[in-house]
Amino acid sequence: MAGGIEEITHPRALITGITGQDGSYLAEYLLDKGYEVHGLVRRSSASNRGRIEHLCDRSRYFEKTFFLHHADLEDTTTLRRLMTSIAPQEFYHLAGQSHVGLSFDIPESTCDMVAMGTLRLLEIVRDMPYKPKFFHPTSSEIFGVPFQVPQTEETPMNPVNPYGIAKVFATQMVKLYRSAFGVFACNAILYNHESPRRGEHFVSLKICRTAAEIKLGIQHELVLGNLDSQRDWGDSRDYIRAFWKMLQQEKPEDFIISTGKLHSVREMVETAFETLKLDWKLYVRQDPRFFRPLEPYALVGDSSKAKKALGWEPRISFKEMIQEMVSHELDRLQKAKRAESFSIKA
Q: Which of 35, 61, 92, 163 is catalytic?
A: 163
Confirm whether 163 is a catalytic residue.
Answer: yes
Nearest to 15 by CA among 56, 59, 61, 66: 66
What span, in angstroms and rounded, lies between the C-alpha atoms of 265 and 231?
Answer: 8
Question: Which residue type sits at 143?
Answer: F
CB 333 within 8 A of CB 212: yes
Half-sphere exposure of 127 (CA within 13 A, CB side): 11
What span, in angstroms and rounded, lies between the C-alpha atoms of 190 and 170?
Answer: 14
Spatial neighbors of 248 by CB under 8 A, at least 6 apart, are none
Q: Which of 36, 141, 194, 329 is catalytic?
A: 141
Exposure b/e, 104-126, CB count within 10 A at least 16 = b: eeebeebbbbbbbbbebbbebbe
Exposure b/e, 185-208, CB count within 10 A at least 16 = b: bbbbbbbbbbbbbbeeebbbbbbb
Q: Where are the beta strands (DSSP E) in the chain?
A: 12-16, 36-41, 66-70, 90-93, 133-139, 185-190, 193-194, 222-224, 230-231, 234-235, 255-257, 263-264, 284-286
Q: Which of 24, 98, 103, 139 is catalytic?
A: 139
Question: Which residue type sits at 270?
Answer: E
What span, in angstroms and rounded, lies between the C-alpha atoms of 342 and 345?
Answer: 5
Query: Using CB atoms within 10 A of its CB, is residue 102 exposed (0-12), middle (13-18) or buried (19+)?
Result: middle
> 253: helix, coil or strand?
coil
What span, in angstroms and rounded, lies between the C-alpha atoms of 222 and 214?
Answer: 8
Residues classed as catalytic: 139, 141, 163
